[in-house]
Amino acid sequence: MVASRYTPAEEQKTIWVYLEQENGVLENVSLEILTKGRELADKMEWQLTGLLLGHDMGDISSSAFAYGADVIVFADHPLLENFTIEAYSDVIEKAILERKPSVFLLGATPNGRDLAGRLAVRFRTGLNADCTELRMEKKTGVLVCEVSGFGGGILALIEMPSHRPQMATVRPGVFEPKPRNHNLTGELVELNVNLNPDSIYTRVIERMVGEQVDLARVPVIVAGGRGIDGEFESLRKLAKLLGGAIGATRPPVDDGYIPREYQIGQTGVVCSPEVALCCGISGAFHFIVGIEKSKTVISINIDPDAPIFEFSDYCIVSDVNEMIPRLINALEDIQETTHEKVT
Ligand SMILES: Cc1cc2nc3c(=O)[nH]c(=O)nc-3n(C[C@H](O)[C@H](O)[C@H](O)COP(=O)(O)OP(=O)(O)OC[C@H]3O[C@@H](n4cnc5c(N)ncnc54)[C@H](O)[C@@H]3O)c2cc1C
């Protein structure tokens, strides 16, 4: 077995969380992992450290302290203004080798995944990707990660007793972010950054921000599957009337009807809305894991035996092509009546 670059005997009893930020605002997934990290650190009576990289980030550390970090280790440098895998992985590698945390957690975002894979190889340690639960063994200090495998057919518990840091990624929406106290503060530790611009091969030429919806946060999701036959316009109208957003299963995404950011499920977003309205969706396990935390699930399917009905609070056996226009008309009527009463 290949040894990692530091051993459990050399580790510091700390849990590190990578704090991903964009324009001085922390990504929600970092707050979610900080909340979980706090719970684990309390159990172990260890320190929780947030690792923050960027440039001119403003008062971003206060939200990390509010969500439970005891310490923030940060690097502020013009070459860290935009995420580049070369600069970020070099700075983090050095910080981790100097301080040797026992655990290092990251969000399973595109940048988080990129970093996690590269760093795990550099440390010669393991990486538990897309964990659905994390816990620490009090006696041994081993992190136990729950990961679903073989197409969701099994839940595996994975641990790495002899490699450090114990690394894991968690997708957005898996843990609930819980602020503790907005007046909390902690220790700020600045890293010495020594970056050579010639070793950074990525250049940001233009930033294009797409139409972004944070499906992990919206209160109502109207999700469309293969059964809606690419008809997302009416779903969008319905979602707007309900004050929500649209989502999708994988087939319409693969068929190019809707961008990948809208995909819900095991390889998409995990959501926890008040209401999920599932239209023309069969209910495959890979999709269900993305909506099972919804408070209420309503499904419309033409097939009375569709598996989605087993996971639904309300089951509508109907053709979406008939039901969706009827729902839109009914909601528009309600809106008009309310408007008339007000005016
Ligand atoms: C490793 C792996 C990861 C995956 N990750 C994901 C993921 O993250 N998210 C995801 O969604 N999938 C994922 N999948 C795919 C998943 O297994 C299913 O194939 C997919 O969820 C099925 O999508 P669907 O329900 O839209 O389509 P289908 O299973 O084809 O179901 C279509 C449904 O529409 C109904 N229908 C048809 N016409 C009408 C109509 N006119 N009115 C009403 N109902 C109608 C049918 O009765 C049927 O139930 C993954 C697969 C693998 C192997």
> Which atom of ligand 1 is nearest the CA belonging to 265?
8
CA distance 233 to 189: 50
Nearest Cα to 65, choosing from 16, 96, 31, 112? Answer: 31
pLDDT of residue 181: 83
Looking at the domain that runs over 8-199, which CATH code has it been given?
3.40.50.620
Neighbours of 312 (CB within 10 A): 23
Ligand 1: does its nearest atom lie under 6 Å from the Cβ of 151?
A: yes
AA letter at 289 = V
Distance separating alpha carbons of residues 240 and 290, to the nearest angstrom: 21
Distance CA 97, CA 125 (A): 13
Distance 217 CA to ligand 1 centre (A): 23
How confident is the model over 220-265, as pLDDT tens digits? 999 999 999 999 999 999 999 999 999 999 999 999 999 988 999 9
Q: 3-state class of 224 per DSSP?
A: strand
Sign (positive/negative) of CA torsion 257, 262, 265, 268? positive
Alpha helices in the chain (DSSP H): 28-44, 61-66, 85-99, 110-123, 232-241, 250-254, 285-291, 320-342
Going from the Cα of 252 to the center of ligand 1, the distance in angstroms, rounded, reads 9
Which residues belong to CATH 3.40.50.1220 in the chain? 215-342
- Structure tokens, 187: 């220790």
Helices 110-123, 85-99: crossing angle, 10 deg rounding: 50
pLDDT at 123: 98
Q: How far is the CA of 331 from the centre of ligand 1 (A)?
A: 27
Q: Distance from the CA of 27 to the center of ligand 1, in angstroms?
A: 29
Residue located nearest, by CA, to atom 52 of ligand 1: 151
Q: Divide the 343 residues of the chain into consecutive groups of 10 and give the mean pLDDT of each group.
A: 96 98 91 97 98 94 95 96 96 98 96 97 96 96 89 83 97 88 91 93 83 82 97 96 96 95 89 96 94 95 98 97 96 84 66
**Cα(298) to centroid(ligand 1), Å:** 16
In angstroms, rounded to a whole number, what is the distance separating the alpha carbons of residues 247 and 227?
A: 14
From 89, 113, 119, select the one nearest 169 (Cα to Cα): 113
Query: Where are the domain boundaries for CATH 3.40.50.620 in the chain?
Result: 8-199
Minimum CA distance residue for ligand 1 atom 48: 282
CA distance linking residue 125 with residue 129, whole number of Å: 13
* Other Cβ atoms closer than 10 A to 152: 15
- Quote the CA–CA distance of 312 and 300 in Å, as a whole number: 10
Burial tier of 178 (Cβ tally within 10 Å: 0-12, 13-18, 19+): middle
Assign domain 215-342 to a CATH class: alpha beta
Q: What is the pLDDT of residue 151?
A: 61
List strand residue ranges (DSSP E) for 138-263, in order: 143-149, 154-158, 166-170, 187-190, 220-224, 245-248
Total-model pTM: 0.80
Q: Of the residues 302, 308, 315, 323, which should be mutated to test ligand 1's pocket, given the most ligand atoms within 8 Å of the CB? A: 302
State residue 343's pLDDT score: 63
Q: Quick one: which of 244, 236, 316, 242 has its CA closest to 280?
A: 316
Q: Which residue has the tokens 């053709």?
A: 319
Contact 252, 232 (CB under 8 A): yes
The type of residue at 205 is I
Strand-pair category, 21-22 with 12-19? unpaired
